[in-house]
Chains A and B, each alone.
Chain A
Amino acid sequence: MPVWLSDALWALLKVVLTLAFVGLNAYVVIWGERKVAARFQRRVGPEVVGGPAGILQSLADGVKLLAKEDIRPAMADGPVWFWAPVLAMVPGVLVLLVIPYDPHLTLVRMDWSLVLAMAASAFTAISYFMAGWGSNNKYSLLGAMRGVAQLVSYEIPLILSFLGVVMITGTLDLSRIAEQQDRLWLVIPQILGFIVFYIASLAELNRVPFDLVSGESELVAGYLTEYSGIRWTLFLFGEYTNLFASSALAVTLFFGGWHGPLLPGWLWFLIKTYTLVWVAMWIRWTLPRVRIDQLMDLGWKFLTPLALINVALTGIWLAVL
């Protein structure tokens, strides 16, 4: 077999594996979200319907969503509206490609994988704006405007929050960053960085209390208003893939990646990641939503200065050491 063909086949296999994981992860996380909500709110639904522990509930949801009528608003901006849900998947999938799940399991290894992950996270804003603008609906448009304001503002503290880790480890390769945390998880020296990262990533993910882009009780569903059935599902898949990806990134950067005793590395990685996913759910089912100006205040007046302080402190710490 020629080298180019085997390379191509490998690449194809990786893409297929990643997409399969995206589907499986969305299935598991949606099921988990329903269970968490049910526990928090004493709901019986997912406990009663859908097989043991409600694991078939997500399947039923999926079938229902696939069977729904595909509605397109009459005056929608065709291609922009059409491609938005597809693009919503991109950032999560890109991050999944470069995440080191295990010392031996990184789908695409490169020296600047952290830069790719950062660049990918900026992509979400585009899909939100395309959806909101393309829908020809004023609620969607408001959602889109909120989305751009919110995501662009939170991009800055998010990226600044990485800097401390990069300064300590001296690399932009996620695998090496994970490797270097065999003795000390970076969350200990970088606790400020982690706090900024986690809050900013919740905002980037459009999760409560920062779900202003789709604010159900304000903008009906914001950028999602005009999407139904399979297109809506794609957005949902995108959201949960992004949730997993950002938690995985947090684990890689701050919680020692795959490091852990006894169990295999990839299992430790998944345990840590899903724990962070669970925390996001916990927050979602507890807190109400903030207002857009409060969100901006938090981003610019609190998180950004905090991230800068963290960079300065890390610099001093490294200089003293």
Chain B
Amino acid sequence: MAEGMSPEELGMVEPIETGGERRTMQLNFGPQHPSTHGVFRAVLTLDGETVVDVDPVLGYLHRNHDYIYQLMTYPQIVPMTDRTDYLSPLNNELVYSMAVEELLGIEVPERAQYLRVIFAELNRILSHFLYIGSIALDLAGYQPFLLSWRERELGYDLIEKATGQRMFPNYIRIGGVHNDVPEGWTGELLEFLDFIEREAWPEYKTLWMENPIFKARSEGVGVLPGEVAIAYGATGPVARASGVRRDLRKDRPYLVYDRFDFEMVTGEKGDTYERSWMRMYEILESIKIIRQAVRDMPDGPILGQLPRGPMKAAKGAEVFTVAEGPRGEHGVYIASDGGVHPYRIHWFSPTFTMLQLLPYLAKGLKVADLIAILASLDPVMGEVDR
């Protein structure tokens, strides 16, 4: 698709004529760069400021997670998954726990399922707020970036009260959750949601989403057609911004998602601006889900019946479980050889797949557009280089 097309075919401006010779410049964008969202390198070929080619180079943060997991027992892996995508640790714990439960055939009590939904959605809200903040920072909007930490702090406070940890909560466990939420916690959570709906959300809308400069910088920039999104394996808000109607919470409901009334937010244009709006609207949908979950949450145990002794799966058993994370569909593949460690474990991460889109989206645009596009994919290098 994009690979075979020349810059001219992609609607690029005429190249600079320098006596029949075309002059381009190679620029190492990263791995140490303020706007690569971690250690990520893109080798750019530039014609002036116009991007002729992008070659993403991964692996600078490689921590061997997939391999290290294979040296650990099933329960030991849970806290490690927090570090994979450090902006949505609870969603990682969730998908890993779901995979092991499927592998071992463990039933999860209903209350734990509701709690898992609440925490997964809370984490989605916090991750999306940081998305708005970080795309603002990449376009030099320092104000919304610092503002986004206010919401994260409040959210972290809630997570800390329930789990004892802020960034790496290690809360969702195989078979349920670690402990029940403290007395009065759900009330505070609802207050936090009220605050978002009443104050924070409108503030981001006026300060950032309706900012004329942000609109000028993002509308029509990095347009991703729906079929290309599917072809490249894009999921989550990026694909939905291009009109792809796919959300695992609706299409293949896990936990108790089928009991809640919420919308699947989709866009039409698939540009950077629309991708940002997707996150804004998903915050509102997550709030809806949490409200219903708090309302309907039954009493009961929070941890299911676990096998006696060390956890072991049957020899030859394998499982691939996916869930809808803030950045898109992330999944875990586990194969067992009957031991206490997974024989093979592999993490499927959404932004790893979507980084391939970078050359497609950025060719022919300016360096500044490349930054906006990269930010709109919401990459977390921790999950890209595992």
Which residues on A are within 8 Å of B, measured CB to CB? 37, 40-43, 138-139, 142, 145-146, 208-209, 211, 215-220, 285-294
> What distance in Å separates the Cβ of B141 from its nearest Cβ neighbour in chain A?
4
Q: Among A138, A146, A208, point to the contact of B140 (Cβ < 8 A).
A: A208
**Chain B residues, Cβ within 8 Å of A208:** 140
Knowing A146-B49, A218-B35, the reply to whether A42 touches B143 (Cβ < 8 A) is no
Closest A-chain residue to B142, C-beta based?
A285
> What distance in Å separates the Cβ of B379 from its nearest Cβ neighbour in chain A?
15
Q: Lowest 5 CB-CB distances: which A-B pairs, in order?
A: A289-B140, A288-B141, A288-B139, A41-B146, A217-B35
Interface residues of B in 256-297 (CB under 8 A from A): none
Knowing A146-B49, A293-B366, the reply to whether A41 touches B147 (Cβ < 8 A) is yes
Knowing A208-B140, A209-B140, A285-B143, the reply to whether A138 touches B25 (Cβ < 8 A) is yes
B367: interface (CB < 8 Å): yes
**Inter-chain contact count A-B, CB under 8 Å?**
74
> What distance in Å separates the Cβ of B282 from its nearest Cβ neighbour in chain A?
22
Report yes or no: B140 in contact with A217, Cβ–Cβ below 8 A.
yes
One of B72-80, B210-218, B344-352 contacting the partner? B210-218
Closest B-chain residue to A284, C-beta based?
B142
Report yes or no: B371 in contact with A288, Cβ–Cβ below 8 A.
no
Range for the number of chain B residues in contact with chain A? 20 to 34
B329: interface (CB < 8 Å): no
B57: interface (CB < 8 Å): no
Q: Mark B2-29, 1 if CB is under 8 A from A, else 0.
A: 0000000000000000000000010100
B136: interface (CB < 8 Å): yes
Report yes or no: A288 in contact with B217, Cβ–Cβ below 8 A.
yes
**Chain B residues, Cβ within 8 Å of A287:** 141, 211, 213
> What distance in Å separates the Cβ of B288 from its nearest Cβ neighbour in chain A?
29
**Chain A residues, Cβ within 8 Å of B151:** none
Report yes or no: B214 in contact with A288, Cβ–Cβ below 8 A.
yes
Report yes or no: A290 in contact with B213, Cβ–Cβ below 8 A.
yes
Report yes or no: B139 in contact with A217, Cβ–Cβ below 8 A.
yes
Complex CA distance for A286 and B146, rounded to whole angstroms:
11
Report yes or no: B368 in contact with A291, Cβ–Cβ below 8 A.
yes
Complex CA distance for A91 and B138, rounded to whole angstroms:
31
Report yes or no: B33 in contact with A215, Cβ–Cβ below 8 A.
no
Knowing A217-B34, A287-B141, the reply to whether A142 touches B367 (Cβ < 8 A) is yes
B85: interface (CB < 8 Å): no
> What distance in Å separates the Cβ of B209 from its nearest Cβ neighbour in chain A?
12
Report yes or no: B366 in contact with A291, Cβ–Cβ below 8 A.
yes
Closest A-chain residue to B33, C-beta based?
A220
Report yes or no: A288 in contact with B140, Cβ–Cβ below 8 A.
yes
Q: Among A41, A42, A142, A294, point to the contact of B49 (Cβ < 8 A).
A: A142
> What distance in Å separates the Cβ of B26 from its nearest Cβ neighbour in chain A?
8
B161: interface (CB < 8 Å): no
Complex CA distance for A131 and B136, rounded to whole angstroms:
28
**Chain B residues, Cβ within 8 Å of A41:** 142-143, 146-147
